[in-house]
């Protein structure tokens, strides 16, 4: 049934678990930064489907790449080597500056593998994570996610010891780093926390303490990576050299992908059978990784992020917005009157934004292909609130 009275929310509720807080619109198609809804509304997307739509929707290069790859070779497992996979490895290594890559399917899976590698490589049993950080909902990733135990961590115990360190308190952080710690995991720009860019001195102090005690530094760039923060990866903004770097979301532009990148030294002990996943790095995923990275480079999208981010940061400080945090296209707008109230008003005016764990902060995570006209519209609607 697909009539004017059709309601996907009600239809999904028949069998699909109702575990998500959902927007009150139903997309039927999307192109560029615009989503068209069943009721005919056209919405401008400053949320990008949780930061995934790096090239926007129906990008011609992405559509052509997935179509061509699907026709040529739809799927093969990791039991065979593929040219498209080798290309994805080369491009991602060049883009990130990391030596070795393991491809998987999601952010949580990337973090799960990064943590496993760190624990095995060091032979130690404890991980340090940051307060307010988010790393995913699986056993290991959830164990290092702040607040998970109270909120949604459904396992009886964590698979290893975990301690949390306060953000931007270098003295407290370095006091906790010693040779009992396998790894410290951080999001350089925390996403769900409300687009919070860590202090550069804090990050440098953590990196130095890690080096001193042979602790591995894992940077989770599942949300803030792949051009979003105005550099290929946010670690580069900080001059950081992580031992392990994870990413997902924008890397496939909408196709599920994840990646664990690491230094040659970290990778050196990994051999056949140590890691695995059925779908990770399949031909469709790799075709999309190649296209996303090619388009970012060809169309100078990182320059676009930096130019328009500067505009967003200066011009969105109007109406209810009292403060702007974050970097590039991962921005947190602190709103007088509560973020959800303002987000509701923006949605009424046709603009989609994201929430965060801070009830006062809404997140902007637009496609890297955003244009001046979209910023103009957002600013004028904010001014009118
Ligand atoms: C920083 C960060 N790490 C990990 C994850 C988990 O990614 P996924 O939902 O793909 O498992 C997310 C998801 O929002 C994230 O923002």
pLDDT value at residue 342: 98
Any ligand 1 atom below 6 A from CB of 186: no
* Phi, psi torsion values for 224, nearest 5 degrees: -90, -5
Contact assessment for residue 27 and residue 57, using Cβ atoms and an 8 Å cutoff: no
Contact assessment for residue 160 and residue 125, using Cβ atoms and an 8 Å cutoff: yes
Distance CA(237)–CA(113), nearest Å, equals 25
Mean pLDDT of 264-291: 97
Convert the pLDDT of each residue in 164-198 to its tens digit: 999 999 999 999 999 999 999 999 999 999 999 99
Distance from the alpha carbon of residue 5 to the mean position of ligand 1, in angstroms: 35
Distances (CA, A) of 26 to 10, 22, 247, 271, 288: 11, 10, 28, 46, 25
What's the whole-number average pLDDT of the chain? 96
In three-state form (DSSP H/G/I as H, E/B as E, the rest C), the secondary structure along the chain is: CCCCCCCHHHHHHCCCCCCCCCCCCCEEEEEECEEEECCCCEEEECCHHHHCCCCCECCHHHHHHHHHHHHHCCCCCCCCCCHHHHHHHHHHHHHHCCCEEEEECCHHHHHHHHHHHHHHHHCCCEEEEECCCCCCCCHHHHHCCCCHHHHCCCCCCCCCEEEEECCCCHHHHHHHCCCCEEEEEECCEECCCCCEECCHHHHHHHHHHHHHHCCEEEEECCCCCCCCCCCCCHHHHCCCCCCEEEECHHHHECECCEEEEECHHHHCCCCCCCCCCCCCCCHHHHHHHHHHHHHHHHCCHHHHHHHHHHHHHHHCCCCCEEEEEEECCEEEEEECCCHHHHHHHHHHCCEECECCCCCCEEEECCCCCCCHHHHHHHHHHHHHC
Any ligand 1 atom below 6 A from CB of 260: no
pLDDT value at residue 156: 87
Ligand 1, closest atom to CA 136?
A: 6
Distance CA(299)–CA(321), nearest Å, equals 31
Nearest to 258 by CA among 50, 77, 145, 108: 108
pLDDT value at residue 339: 98
pLDDT value at residue 154: 84
In the chain, the percentage of residues whose pLDDT exceeds 90 is 95
pLDDT value at residue 292: 98
Convert the pLDDT of each residue in 221-246 to its tens digit: 999 999 999 999 999 999 999 999 99
pLDDT value at residue 243: 98
Ligand 1, closest atom to CA 256?
A: 10
Distance from the alpha carbon of residue 3 to the mean position of ligand 1, in angstroms: 35
pLDDT at 115 > cutoff 50: yes
Nearest to 374 by CA among 320, 292, 326, 315: 315
Contact assessment for residue 22 and residue 9, using Cβ atoms and an 8 Å cutoff: yes
pLDDT value at residue 370: 98
Any ligand 1 atom below 6 A from CB of 107: yes
Distance CA(310)–CA(194), nearest Å, equals 18
Radius of gyration, alpha carbons of the chain: 21
pLDDT at 78 > cutoff 90: yes
Any ligand 1 atom below 6 A from CB of 122: no
Any ligand 1 atom below 6 A from CB of 52: no
Distance from the alpha carbon of residue 143 to the mean position of ligand 1, in angstroms: 13
Distance from the alpha carbon of residue 263 to the mean position of ligand 1, in angstroms: 22
pLDDT at 146 > cutoff 50: yes
pLDDT at 155 > cutoff 60: yes
Ligand 1, closest atom to CA 108?
A: 11
Ligand 1, closest atom to CA 224?
A: 1
Give residue 3's pLDDT band: very low, low, confident or very high (50, 70, 90).
Answer: low
pLDDT at 4 > cutoff 70: no
By residue count, the chain amounts to: 385
Which range (143-152, 192-201, 376-385) has the least confidence? Answer: 143-152
Any ligand 1 atom below 6 A from CB of 187: yes
Convert the pLDDT of each residue in 55-70 to its tens digit: 999 999 999 999 999 9
The pair of structure tokens assigned to 48 is: 């990008």
Using most ligand atoms within 8 A of CB, pick from 135, 137, 192 the residue to mutate for ligand 1: 135
Could you tell me how far CA 351 lies from the centroid of its own chain?
21
Convert the pLDDT of each residue in 291-306 to its tens digit: 999 999 999 999 999 9
pLDDT value at residue 2: 53
* 28 contact partners, CB below 8 Å, separation of at least 6: 36, 37, 38
pLDDT value at residue 150: 78
pLDDT value at residue 1: 45
């Amino acid at each position: 049934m697909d009539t004017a009275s059709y309601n996907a929310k009600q239809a999904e509720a028949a069998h699909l678990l109702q575990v998500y807080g959902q927007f009150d619109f139903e997309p039927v198609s999307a192109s560029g930064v615009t989503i068209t809804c069943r009721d005919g509304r056209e919405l401008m997307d400053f949320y990008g489907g949780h930061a995934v739509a790096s090239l926007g929707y129906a990008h011609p290069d992405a559509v052509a790449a997935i179509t061509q790859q699907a026709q040529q070779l739809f799927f093969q497992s990791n039991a065979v080597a593929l040219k498209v996979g080798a290309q994805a490895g080369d491009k991602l290594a060049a883009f990130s500056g990391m030596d070795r890559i393991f491809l998987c399917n999601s952010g949580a899976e990337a973090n799960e593998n990064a943590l496993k590698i760190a624990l095995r490589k060091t032979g130690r049993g404890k991980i340090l994570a940051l307060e307010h950080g988010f790393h995913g909902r699986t056993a290991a990733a959830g164990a290092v996610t702040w607040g998970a135990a109270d909120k949604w961590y459904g396992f009886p115990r964590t698979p290893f010891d975990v301690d949390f360190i306060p953000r931007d308190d270098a003295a407290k952080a370095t006091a906790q780093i010693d040779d009992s710690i396998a790894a410290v995991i951080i999001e350089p720009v925390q996403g769900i926390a409300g687009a919070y860019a860590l202090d550069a001195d804090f990050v440098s102090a953590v990196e130095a303490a890690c080096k001193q005690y042979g602790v591995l530094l894992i940077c989770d760039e599942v949300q803030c990576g792949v051009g979003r923060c105005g550099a290929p990866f946010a670690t580069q903004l900080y001059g950081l050299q992580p031992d392990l770097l994870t990413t997902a979301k924008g890397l496939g532009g909408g196709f599920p992908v994840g990646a664990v990148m690491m230094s040659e030294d970290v990778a050196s002990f990994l051999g056949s059978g140590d890691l695995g996943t059925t779908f990770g790095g399949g031909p469709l995923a790799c075709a999309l990784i190649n296209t996303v990275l090619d388009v970012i480079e060809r169309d100078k999208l990182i320059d676009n992020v930096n130019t328009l981010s500067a505009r967003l940061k200066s011009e969105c400080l109007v109406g209810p917005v009292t403060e702007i945090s974050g970097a590039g296209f991962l921005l947190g707008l602190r709103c007088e009157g509560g973020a959800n109230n303002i987000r509701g008003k923006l949605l009424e005016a046709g603009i989609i934004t994201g929430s965060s764990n801070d009830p006062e902060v809404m997140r902007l995570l637009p496609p890297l292909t955003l244009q001046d006209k979209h910023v103009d519209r957002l600013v004028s609607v904010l001014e009118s609130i």
